[in-house]
Structure 1
Amino acid sequence: MAIAPITITSERERVIDFSKPFMSLGISIMIKKPMKQKPGVFSFLNPLSKEIWVSVLFAYVGA
């Protein structure tokens, strides 16, 4: 069993039974690579909404 892609050659095909793709659409999508921006000072707060952080703050202060 391999995790990396292996090139199928005639020599390897004689020894190993490679599976063949049953469907190939041949469709590719190109998108623009996003520009890299430096993260902001408070970017660590982004995973949760402001309301959640306020609730966490009130729960911490109230405890």
Structure 2
Amino acid sequence: MSNTTVVPSTAGPGPSGGPGGGGGGGGGGTEVIQVTNVSPSASSEQMRTLFGFLGKIDELRLFPPE
């Protein structure tokens, strides 16, 4: 079993207080989506395809690394 972290780019102000949101007032920030129970055989390209509907993905990490 592995974990995947997907970091889509933000297009504008978003909610704050979540992971990487910085807390406090409005303004853009990093939005992090962590997905668990991903097959260890899943590739970065497959994850980018799967989560591409969220927008441009700036960073994607697979744990354990490929």
**TM-score, with normalisation over the residues of structure 1?**
0.24
**Larger relative contact order, structure 1 or 2 (CA cutoff 8 Å, min sep 6):** 2
Question: Rg: which structure is higher?
Answer: 1
Task: Determine which structure has the larger strand proportion and give its number.
Answer: 2
